[in-house]
Structure 1
Amino acid sequence: MKFSKSLLFLFLTTLILFSCKKEKTTEETSKTSLPNYGNVDLDNVFSRKDGKLENKDSIVAVLHRYYKNVWEKGDLWGGLIVAKGDEILYENYRGFAQANHQEPINDTVALHVASVSKTITAMATLKLVEAGKIKLDDPLTKYFSKFPYPKVTVFTLLSQRSGLPKYEHFIEKIKPAPAELSKKFLTNQDILNLLIQYQPELARNTDTGFMYCNTNYALLALIIEKVTKTTFPEAMNQMVFRPLKMKDSYIFQEKNTLTAAKSFYQQGPRVYPYDRLDLIYGDKNVYTTPRDLLNFSKALYSKDFLRSDLKDLIFEPYSNERAGVNNYGLGFRMKIFNNGEKLTYHNGWWHGTNSVFAHLLKSKVTIIAIGNKYSNRVYSALALSGIFENLPPEKEKIRKIMNETDTLKQNQVNDIYSE
């Protein structure tokens, strides 16, 4: 009996110590001195009105039919979420994260979202602007004294108006090939060093128009590192992922090459091999889940996300030199239609990854599609926006997709548009 009590005492002591250690670890990992999004209460972002949805049953039926027609018939792999406010209207996963049909994809398997990463990098940058650590009109020479393009500012990076050459292209033109190109993986610092050393010509004059360029966001990641005095992966953990409970999200690093979800060629399917550009981050390399990305979207709807004047800048169109539907804000693409309606989103592509992140401003609807077996059909998820807002071209696109259905299901589509 005495022996049993001793064992019980030892067990309880161990349990208490373990619990204390666990609480302490959780508390320590959530603490940060960096500006972050911890002030956003994810449980109280939306009002009851935000969650109200007419013809909900018909809409859910159409979302299900869309998934059957596009994802299942097309054998797409990855995850899809459509949510209004807090409520997930539709969610589904299929396919595998590893070769030989290993690790089925589910709601906790982080997938590469490619250029959707730019949206998250932009919001981290703006949080530092809000804290007074960065100014939008700061020239990059403030952070990198030898940077050879004096007119390039933080704002022109965010808005894709810097005119800088695309790193994936200009490095191939350097002759003879620099030593950096013999490395297994290039880094963001390598890209900066090559810009400084070889000073390739601007692709267009700075701030004269839009030019989508990964170099812009690779440099933003370096600025974040400089200002926060920590690595970009850790800065993102402290500023974005942990505060917003994005528990399965991370920035891809070399240590993740064995365990991270792979992307695949459509045929085979065969794994896309890593190449020397695969460790450059800021422009890509956020690995996340649809549910984690939904948390990010929910936070972005919150009045507490950023100071209102900064938040308003995100969805302003900055490339107005030529009339057209397509435009770019700060980390967001947008389509501005003739009726004045605006679709705000970002797509992504890298190797076998295709992704869509639509953040609909009026309806408070989020659409997230992440595919890891190459297919352009993943981008059709953006057309689902036409179900929720008056976006004529997207409405027509989703009608065409749903024309593959039977008459009963087509009537449900008509029901959606009858309001």
Structure 2
Amino acid sequence: MKNTIYSFAMLIVFLNFSFGQNKSNKETEQKIDQYLKEIIEINEIPGTAVAVIKDGKVIYEKYFGKASLEENIPVDKTTSFKVFSTTKLITAVGIFQLIEKGKIALSDPVSKYLSDLPKEWQNVQIGNLLSHSSGLPDYFKYTDFPYTAPYLERISFLGQKPIQFTPGNQYSYNQTNYLLLTKIIEKITGQTFEDYIFQNQFPDHGSDVFFCSDFAKLTSSAVRYTYNIETKKYQQITFNSGPDSHSANGLNITLSQLIKWNQNLDNDLYLKKETKVAMWSPFQFTNQKDVFAYGWECQPVNNHSSYGFSGGNVTAFRKFPDNNLTVIFLSNSNKYMYLPAFDDVVYRIGGIIDPSLINLKEEEKENITINFLKQDFTKAKDYYFAVKKQHPDWNFEQRLNLIGYSLMRSDRLKDATKIFELNAIEHPNSGNVYDSLAESYFKNNQLELSKENYKKSLALTPENSNAKEMLKKIDELLAK
């Protein structure tokens, strides 16, 4: 009889625990749903796929919107997304697999593996490439040379450009770094970059994982859109960064395959634990200011470590190892491309899942953004000042500038100008703020106001070459 009573009591406890867990999980799911639907609506995101992995289990995996607006194709488990620079995480893992096998070292000079490099490049190390501390000229910044040019032609062209800084001194995001990593992998392995990655990270892949940098050929991936402010509609992007860019931005992958990749990484199938620790260790920049790991951005949240990267202003991948949590966000466009909605999302969802990851300042940045995009300016401004009153030490200069540019490039010039005017009042000693305000006046043909603010910018930042050029241009226009 006693055993029967005990068993019944334990059953009640188990059922209550299960009910409580299910209720909690359902509430969490609803919070994420509500948040994502608001973000998707405000940013007018065509298609999205989101996953949350907690303690090795997928606790959230959902698909929203359209992979193709023209064909009315919904986003689902079969949808591949172009992840852009999130590809760099896969490349970093590939490099550390070679390190683990003793075939390469972070301290190795690039010239050990690649010949025909400019003399000034000889001392650049593998670690500099991964940490974006190489100082090499970035080929993406030169529009007068085709991205699809053969490798040696690109090196010849870039070799005529100056080194930006002494290798190791500082962080400067650079696509040339990954061009060289592609060639180093191919040199060491004797394989194409793509075959090496497939063999070592996606051995059982099908059509749900592939590399392609030519948008015109991406017929089996979610269409990448850009917002056209003239037609007020999305239009397909046509762009080709060339096959040598695959290590930097060429991966196309389904959410399901990326979830599996993450689980394999967590389970030490790609790298040993100690190797992952090395990969996620901050690079020691000479300037002692910048923070970045080897191929991964490292960003502590309330003293919890987090690692990841984002790509193309549309995808983000973020791991919180201390919390056994990973958040993946994939999309195919965002009307307000200059706002980091993709980064905001992964951090915000992290806080929904685990309250210890709530970052009040970052959440308020996002709330301020949402208000200026969604509400009328006066109400949004009132909210901004309410936040500032509570937290007078918080600085929102960069966020206000991003909001302004996003509005300006989304055909909301008047609202953008109001944001820049507010930012100038809030940060009267920032030359960058006056430069942005002057640009908005110029676009609205308010030339005298534009001139006045470019002068203010130049007074605060004498090295501002853009302000000097714009002042000449305005004087020419006013003289006509």
TM-score by length of 2: 0.63
Q: 2:128 aligns with which of 141, 156, 160?
A: 156
Return closer, same or farther for 1:107/1:401 CA change in 2, 3 Å cut-off: farther
Asked if 1:368 corresponds to 2:337, the answer is no
**Deviation at residue 64 of structure 1 after TM alignment:** 1.3
Q: Which whole-Å CA distance do the structure 2 matches of 1:99 and 1:59 have between them?
A: 30
Asked if 1:264 corresponds to 2:230, the answer is no
Deviations 1:52-83 (A, max 9, x none): 99943332221111122112454312211122
**Deviation at residue 250 of structure 1 after TM alignment:** 1.2
RMSD over aligned Cα atoms: 3.0
Q: Which whole-Å CA distance do the structure 1 matches of 2:123 and 2:252 have between them?
A: 33
Asked if 1:274 corresponds to 2:235, the answer is no
Return closer, same or farther for 1:309/1:221 CA change in 2, 3 Å cut-off: same
Q: 1:207 aligns with which of 149, 161, 168?
A: 168
Q: Is the 8 A contact 2:80 2:254 kept in 1?
A: yes
Return closer, same or farther for 1:238/1:256 CA change in 2, 3 Å cut-off: farther
Return closer, same or farther for 1:253/1:166 CA change in 2, 3 Å cut-off: closer
Q: Which whole-Å CA distance do the structure 2 matches of 1:297 and 1:129 have between them?
A: 20
**Deviation at residue 171 of structure 1 after TM alignment:** 6.0
Asked if 1:248 corresponds to 2:208, the answer is yes
Asked if 1:64 corresponds to 2:33, the answer is yes
Q: Is the 8 A contact 1:126 1:310 kept in 2?
A: yes
Partner residue of 2:94?
124
Q: Which whole-Å CA distance do the structure 1 matches of 2:350 and 2:80 have between them?
A: 24
Q: Is the 8 A contact 1:246 1:295 kept in 2?
A: no
Partner residue of 1:103?
73
**Deviation at residue 261 of structure 1 after TM alignment:** 3.1
SS at match of 1:347: strand
SS at match of 2:309: strand
SS at match of 2:111: helix
Q: Which whole-Å CA distance do the structure 2 matches of 1:95 and 1:193 have between them?
A: 44
Alignment of 1:108-257 (within 5 A): 108-148=78-118, 149-170=121-142, 172=144, 181=146, 185-195=148-158, 198-242=159-203, 248-252=208-212, 256-257=217-218
SS at match of 1:357: strand
**Deviation at residue 296 of structure 1 after TM alignment:** 1.6
Q: Which whole-Å CA distance do the structure 1 matches of 2:63 and 2:202 have between them?
A: 22
Return closer, same or farther for 1:365/1:190 CA change in 2, 3 Å cut-off: farther
Aligned-residue sequence identity (percent) comes to: 23
**Deviation at residue 88 of structure 1 after TM alignment:** 2.2
Amino acid at match of 1:345: G
Amino acid at match of 1:231: T
Partner residue of 2:477?
none
Larger helix fraction of residues: 2
Deviations 1:382-401 (A, max 9, x none): 22222326345368518965
Count of residue pairs the alignment pairs up: 336
Q: Is the 8 A contact 1:385 1:394 kept in 2?
A: no
Alignment of 1:377-388 (within 5 A): 377-383=341-347, 384-387=349-352, 388=354
Q: Which whole-Å CA distance do the structure 1 matches of 2:315 and 2:100 have between them?
A: 29
Amino acid at match of 1:153: Q
**Deviation at residue 358 of structure 1 after TM alignment:** 0.6
**Deviation at residue 135 of structure 1 after TM alignment:** 2.0
**Structure whose alpha-carbon radius of gyration is higher:** 2
Which has the bigger relative contact order, CA under 8 A and spacing at least 6? 1
Q: Is the 8 A contact 1:354 1:379 kept in 2?
A: no
Partner residue of 1:296?
261
Return closer, same or farther for 1:138/1:400 CA change in 2, 3 Å cut-off: closer
Return closer, same or farther for 1:400/1:308 CA change in 2, 3 Å cut-off: closer
Q: Which whole-Å CA distance do the structure 1 matches of 2:344 and 2:192 have between them?
A: 35
Asked if 1:345 corresponds to 2:308, the answer is yes
Gaps of 5+ in 1: 1-51, 405-419
Q: Is the 8 A contact 1:158 1:330 kept in 2?
A: yes
Gaps of 5+ in 2: 1-20, 372-480
